[in-house]
């Protein structure tokens, strides 16, 4: 005789659901959570209504007021007799609390886990609608992210791409992982190992016995970092090395700069050659000299701060707070008056070398400020109108020593400063993009900057200016030239910045999004070239760029049927593999890169399987709109003015047509009411990222992303 069928417990908590174990539904904690001493959080149909929580909070405040009036001696801070409140931490109750400074509370899902987030939604669950609402807001939200254990939340703004990536991870149902350990089983031993390693690595290292060795190691710095950030003068620095080996009376600034340059060069060289060089030891020695110097009030002091900035970007073990250091550099810049052009003031009697070094240092600080502000989505530190934005002269370091130095002629080969000047021009364009597209207030005062009457016309003009900038990249005969490839990467990064969602254009058109996808693919291809030729500099900026570029690609594939239908899978596979390989290599030195790799690996794996399944079933067909974008040159009518500004090459035709397509739909509305076969869409819904049952089945419950954990290492630089 069959036993009576038991009713299934519909009130299983979130932990029991994820572990697929039986939940007894006891309150306030089920038996399994009580035994594990972990918070018990209801889920599914038992979601707590936000209105209910709000009314309870108001009622508690009213009751506490009555208690204070009736019993003024009663201590409301006393805890209940049981220690349940001490064991469990508060739970997030706002759907957008990760994006809002109000009621930002930390939640701990498992004992020993880092700070995590739980989202509660009111009413029945509609994944497509919730994603649609989130996507429409994510370009202009306020982000307060806890970037250090026990610290106050830090501001992350729209240009960082934080909310875009947050959308991807949350929509994909990525579950939270522990922040502080690569292996959960490491426990407290990982902390002890980290402390021990830090003590060993940060032991001061002496200079190489031979002066030639120090000079050769320092030369590696000027062959790589100096091209991007030319704030030092190579002949002067080599004389500093001579002083270190010939004299015992050396100023702290000279000693600091010599050791820091060696530390930065050793960091990169040890990764390329797979030979352990004492980079951290040189850094520790430099910091001993730093404690004896005053970086304020001198150009050498500001150069020393910039060396710290470079080292902090390329070596995560140092714990340098780059955000605070950036503003120290800005303060020193203003104090020295580097923002003003003194070349037209003959009474100061400043040599050409000093004039040019002042200008170069200004532009490096300016570039760092725009780069960090864009990466973290924060305001720039000094506005353009407060500066004389004069560019340095195209004179190499060696030529600057001559009294009759002349700028490089167009017929001469470009030097390191030629590429540096070109990147400075990109920083100025980056500044304008920040002002126009990523300003928080859309109604600025009239004196701030001229209002943009049509943002779509401005966007089109900015795309043309960026293409002109790329076409003017200094030409070299070396096809593997690292400097030219870095300019190409910067071009794609800025095109993505203009095309992806922003406060000015929160809902880009489909044409704009497809163009953004193409530049994201080309960005990954450019990184692949550098990585293949062993010319890639590992840094926080590289991780941020690869992560954001890959997410743009994956987001576009799932959102736009045109892209998924016509995409070459082998090309996608090659670029995704490139991103994973680079992040894996950087992950050997930096834990955050490993976690970024894991997230991309999960989402890209499902994306590839979905593409292959859709192609095999033959249910996906090309749309006329995309085919019209890839017509041959004979079928495209080009504007003569635009054609003259576009870069030469096989992609020039496509780039011209892309700009024409952008201008045909300036309002930013696209027809998204088509989708993949398995997607369930209501009439009012448009196809959104990962809004289908396949992803929910693959990833389980739609949970909160671990993107806060990813950003912890990226932005917590203290």
Q: 346-381: per-residue pLDDT in tens?
A: 777 888 899 999 999 999 999 999 999 998 888 889
Calpha distance 578→595 (Å, rounded):
16
Per-residue pLDDT tens for 408-450?
888 888 988 999 999 999 999 999 999 888 877 767 666 666 6
Residue 40 domain-assigned (yes or no): yes
Instruction: For residues 330 and 308, give the distance between their C-alpha atoms in angstroms, rounded to a whole number.
Output: 14
Is residue 467 in a domain?
yes
pLDDT at 195: 53
| Domain encompassing residue 629 | 463-472+479-672
d(CA 446, CA 479): 47
Q: What is d(CA 286, CA 264) in angstroms, rounded to the nearest whole number? A: 11
Element (H, E) at 144: strand 143-146
Q: Is 503 helix (H, G, I), strand (E, B) or coil?
A: coil
Asked whether the beta carbons of 599 and 190 are under 8 A apart, the reply is no
For every residue of 59-110, DSSP letters joined together read: HHHHHHHHHHHH-TT--TTPPPSSSHHHHS------TTGGG-STT---B-SS
**Residue 5 domain-assigned (yes or no):** no
pLDDT at 29: 81
Question: Same structural domain for residues 680 and 639?
Answer: no
Q: In whole angstroms, what is the distance from residue 159 CA to residue 500 CA?
A: 9
pLDDT for position 458: 94
**253 and 277 assigned to the same domain:** yes
Q: Provide the greatest CA pair distance for the chain.
A: 108
**3-state SS class at 501:** coil
> What is the rounded CA–CA span in Å between residue 584 and residue 538?
11
Together in a domain, 361 and 505: no
Same domain flag for 663 and 682: no
Work out the number of other CB atoms within 10 angstroms of the CB of residue 383.
Answer: 12
Q: Are 611 and 685 within one domain?
A: no
H/E stretch holding 491 reads helix 482-499
Q: Which residues is 156 bridged to in the sheet?
A: 143
CA distances from 101 to 141, 143, 480, 620 (A): 10, 7, 47, 43
Residues 649 and 681 in one domain: no
351 with 498, same domain: the answer is: no
- Residue 435: closest CA among 475, 487, 386: 386
- Is 20 inside any structural domain? no
Which regions in the chain score pLDDT beneath 70?
1-11, 43-54, 78-202, 317, 442, 444-450, 478-480, 618-718
302 and 219 share one domain: yes
| 164 and 248 both lie in a single domain | no
**DSSP 8-state symbol, 108:** -
Residue pair 549/524 in contact by the 8 Å Cβ criterion: yes
> What is d(CA 310, CA 312) in angstroms, rounded to the nearest whole number?
5
Inside any domain, residue 363:
yes
Residue 276 maps to a domain: yes
**DSSP for residue 691:** -
Instruction: State whether 306 and 276 are in the same domain.
Output: yes
Does any domain span residue 15? Answer: no
**336 and 283, same structural domain?**
yes
Answer whether 290's CB lies under 8 Å from 304's CB.
yes
At 697 the pLDDT is 38
Whether 148 is in a domain gets the answer yes
Number of domains in the chain: 3
Rounded CA-CA distance 667/624 in Å is 21
| Judgement on whether residues 341 and 206 belong to the same structural domain of the protein | yes
């Amino acid at each position: 005789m069959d036993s009576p069928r038991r009713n299934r417990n519909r009130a299983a908590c979130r932990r029991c659901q994820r572990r697929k174990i039986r939940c007894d539904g006891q309150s306030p904690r089920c038996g399994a959570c009580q035994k594990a001493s972990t918070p018990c959080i209801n889920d599914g149909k038992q979601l707590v209504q936000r209105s209910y929580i709000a009314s309870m909070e108001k009622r508690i405040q009213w009751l506490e007021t009555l208690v204070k009036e009736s019993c003024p001696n009663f201590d409301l801070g006393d805890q209940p007799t049981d220690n349940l409140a001490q064991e469990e931490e508060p739970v997030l109750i706002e759907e957008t609390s990760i994006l809002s400074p109000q009621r930002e509370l930390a939640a701990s899902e498992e004992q020993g886990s880092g700070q995590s987030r739980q989202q509660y939604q009111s009413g029945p669950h509609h994944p497509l609608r919730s994603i649609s609402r989130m996507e429409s807001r994510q370009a202009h939200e306020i982000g307060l992210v806890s970037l250090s254990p026990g610290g106050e939340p830090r501001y992350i703004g729209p240009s960082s791409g934080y909310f875009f990536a947050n959308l991807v991870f949350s929509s994909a149902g990525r579950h939270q992982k522990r922040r502080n350990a690569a292996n959960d089983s490491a426990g407290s031993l990982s902390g002890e190992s980290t402390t021990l390693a830090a003590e060993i690595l940060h032991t001061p290292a002496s200079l190489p016995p031979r002066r030639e060795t120090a000079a050769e190691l320092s030369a590696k710095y000027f062959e790589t970092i100096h091209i991007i950030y030319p704030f030092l003068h190579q002949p002067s620095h080599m004389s500093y090395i001579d002083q270190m080996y010939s004299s015992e009376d050396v100023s702290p600034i000279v000693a600091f700069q010599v050791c820091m340059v060696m530390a930065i060069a050793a960091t990169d060289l040890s990764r390329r050659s797979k030979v352990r060089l004492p980079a951290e030891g040189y850094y520790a020695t430099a910091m001993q000299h730093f404690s004896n110097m005053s970086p304020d009030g001198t150009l050498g002091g500001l150069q020393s701060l910039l060396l710290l900035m470079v080292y902090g970007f390329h070596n995560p073990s140092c714990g340098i707070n780059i955000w605070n250091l950036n503003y120290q550099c800005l303060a020193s810049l203003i104090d020295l008056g580097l923002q003003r052009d003194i070349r037209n003031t003959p009474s100061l009697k400043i040599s050409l070398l000093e004039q040019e070094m002042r200008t170069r240092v200004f532009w490096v600080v300016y570039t760092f400020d725009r780069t960090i502000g864009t990466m973290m989505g924060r305001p720039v530190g000094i506005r353009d109108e407060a500066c004389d934005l004069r560019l340095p002269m195209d004179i190499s370091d060696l030529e600057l020593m001559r009294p009759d130095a002349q700028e490089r002629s167009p017929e001469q080969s470009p030097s390191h400063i030629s590429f540096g000047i070109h990147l400075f021009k990109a920083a100025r364009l980056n500044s304008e993009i920040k002002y126009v597209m990523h300003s928080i207030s859309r109604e600025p005062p009239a004196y701030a900057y001229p209002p943009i009457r049509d943002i779509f016309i401005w966007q089109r003009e900015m795309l043309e200016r960026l293409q002109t900038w790329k076409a003017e990249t200094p030409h070299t005969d070396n096809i593997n030239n690292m400097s030219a490839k870095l300019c190409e990467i910067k071009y794609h990064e800025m095109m993505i910045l203009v095309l992806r969602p922003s406060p000015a254009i929160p809902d880009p058109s489909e044409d704009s999004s497809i163009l953004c996808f193409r530049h994201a693919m080309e960005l990954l291809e450019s990184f692949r070239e550098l990585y293949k030729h062993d010319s890639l500099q590992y840094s926080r900026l590289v991780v941020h760029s690869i992560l954001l570029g890959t997410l743009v690609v994956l987001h576009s594939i799932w959102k736009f049927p045109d892209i998924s239908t016509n995409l070459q899978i082998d090309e996608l596979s090659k670029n995704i593999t490139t991103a994973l390989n680079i992040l894996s290599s950087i992950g050997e030195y930096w834990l955050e890169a490993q976690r970024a790799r894991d997230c991309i690996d999960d989402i890209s794996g499902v994306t590839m399987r979905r593409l292959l399944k859709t192609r095999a079933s033959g249910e996906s067909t090309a749309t006329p709109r995309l085919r019209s974008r890839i017509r041959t040159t004979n079928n495209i009518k080009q504007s003569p003015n635009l054609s003259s500004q576009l870069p030469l090459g096989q992609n020039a035709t496509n780039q011209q047509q892309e700009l024409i397509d952008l201008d045909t739909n300036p309002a930013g509305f696209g027809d998204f009411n088509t989708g993949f076969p398995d997607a369930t869409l209501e009439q009012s819904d448009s196809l959104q990222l990962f809004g289908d049952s396949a992803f929910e089945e693959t990833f389980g419950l739609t949970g909160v992303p671990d993107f806060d954990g990813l950003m912890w290492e990226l932005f917590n630089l203290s």
